[in-house]
Amino acid sequence: MLSKLFLQTQLLDEHTRAISSTPVAPAYAAFPPELRVSLEAKLRHASEFFARVVLTFVVRDLSMLLDKYLKKCEKWLAE
């Protein structure tokens, strides 16, 4: 499920790069400047949310899984 989520969120990165590149990607160049600024802010906000909430959760979860695995390995090596 996480891999599917990460694959789908690459779309955020693609759009962020397209709208903030110089020159602006042709798909975004047709939009009025105030709309581009608004879209860029919304993309940045979504990306920051993903980084702060989703990635933090995933890293903590992986850390807990690795800790449990290491404890099992230590127990196995002690025997």
**Domain-by-domain residue ranges, the chain?**
2-78
For 30-74, the pLDDT digits (tens) are 899 999 999 999 999 999 999 999 999 999 999 999 999 999 999
Query: What crossing angle do the helices spanning 33-49 and 2-20 adopt, rounded to 10°?
Result: 150
Q: Which of 1, 16, 25, 4 is nearest to 49 (CA)?
A: 16
Q: Is the pTM of this model over 0.75?
A: no
